[in-house]
A and B are shown apart, each in its own frame.
Chain A
């Protein structure tokens, strides 16, 4: 298989024009002793037809939301994707372009990203949003770094234990070569005790990081926590599930300083964990401290409206080691997907998807409870819930799988991420998430499979 074009005749014309006798001669600047004198050990090439067959065969060895009914949660969800999203995102003019460095040749991407920023502001109730970060976990880290720049407090970051364990792990990794202390407030009852937060917030705290709904699916007192952060002179960072915002309060309405999110639910397939979409939106006064790309509206030499990469002086290619982040390649195409998704859903679609998920989850949890399952946490929840089955949780997962359902994750996998007291609550437990895709029949079937 080859994706090359020049014929042997053209190649020899080109070599003549260059003034060398062979292609090898062009590699003469590589010292002899460093040249690989053999073929790479990559195996034989395969044709498009063979590859297609091989990949389909490998794909059949996996379970997925097309072979099973997926009720898995933990930060990645099987939400509905309208066909229009795939249609627009698979246009070559979008997916084979790059960062819009030449505005005149990129008005399509630029305007679409501008609309993405606008839609995210509309959804979160915030003033400004950037044109995407890698994913939810890194967005939390970028927000924490941003809070340190804004508050000039570099010593302490406070995060609730109910924030996704992998987001907290990412933040810990990002901080590991720095002197910043990461304080985790335990949440053994599934949501945080406000008094415990008050006890650790002080004048050295850069930010308080909250997830709403939290990793367990439960609702934190997010408005009150935001107020507490402000009182300590810290920034409040709220990580949201964007699919909840058709139903739950938008964080801009309760004064969040920075809103971050995993945007996977907004029209992005599960893809075994990536690429996903990092969202970051904030109060207008922090715009020059924001990480990532920003698109702005301006006018051109003829006075027409147009769009450009804006405030690039914050970015790595200009500011180098003083930049607000090191991000260069972002998640442009995923932002385009989210733009089309939100346009397609509109206000009512977002509300319906949220309601449907929420109602389905509550229905399923009630049915399971009637079958002897327990929910260790009492706080209100949105579309996801921690549940403890009457049998061994790993057997339950296998039983569900055999019955055509994917459930989990089993919370054992996060053993190191929680304090002992929380771990006790999570023993033999799993997360179950219900999206708007799930029908009543599917939920009843699952209950049937698990009860047998």
Chain B
């Protein structure tokens, strides 16, 4: 075993790109471990844990790149180093002859009429960049997470004073004038305006609307904490005002986790007097208050999309992919062993995970999770499922220093194989979210994992069932139909909405 650590001073690369490089290098024959990271304190910890740290690494700064490789022999180390160089060079060349400015100020000197800043730097630097952008009069989409609540409130107050969008922090999706920002699907332009405090929930609704043949005018993301009492729904309120004024928007959809009560009232006060059709979906919340205001409510993301479509475009002629409902549940049930009783949901989308939990709670007394609804249902360890479990693998404890599971399937694949070892698991429930920003070909990662998991179960005499909800549109870069076919060929049941996936999973395990 040999190891080598190379440091490149003052070479900053973004984390997503470095994770891609680390993964490629790990796949080279003879390589035991490869970590290609910026020398932040957190990454130094990671390097220490895999025994690849030295004084030079300890002295390096977050502006320095560390390439740490363990391999069977010197030859493999050379191959790996060349691969890293090749990928870094390719990245730089892809930028062509373009000059990239070093700061927002310089960018504004080059293009004075910039109007939107899309910010995804590490959380520790993000608020400062967002503040600069707002002060320069730009609307902001802040994708970065790990930004303090205090900073969020400051930023949103600046935005409110200036009448600018401040979407985020931790805002996964927005579509302004048809332009997808960060994670978003290729949706049609149309009459439905969405303000969403939950990223994948918003993606699910806008994708279903598009697959039905409708379209969206604007999709404004707020970030998940906007409706907390401390923030007070600043961005949702501003988003509602903008959509009420917008001539292109006939119907307004609000999507969020249950908001703080006083915030909910403030938001609904804002919207109750519009002539436009309004659909409110606060996942798992008591919706009687909204009905009190005379607003239309929906209890699932699917229903939200259907109601919004019908409000703007008339009756749904044919539900998409109706063949889904013709799954022979009884036959599947018979194929299970007596021990196989439980559902294990491994989600990349937080809102989709929430929805699964809410739907399953109606049927089962307990649904365990890392983001559980009650204290007694909280998993003692995120890595150990109990009975019926659904996990949000996009939660901070999974993503610290690692890429989001919508971009990188490594953690989910590992977990699938772990769950397949359990005698008690009947159904593995997954979401696959397509669109811009997401993994380029999810089925290429999942198909081998599904096959392997089924082999593991088969050796124990069990038949493990995969149910996958596929979120996206037919025009997404990953090719929706191809993804569906590939996953089905591997034996998975693929549904077009999360609600259906959860219902099928529950029908399979019975009561």
A and B: interacting chains: no
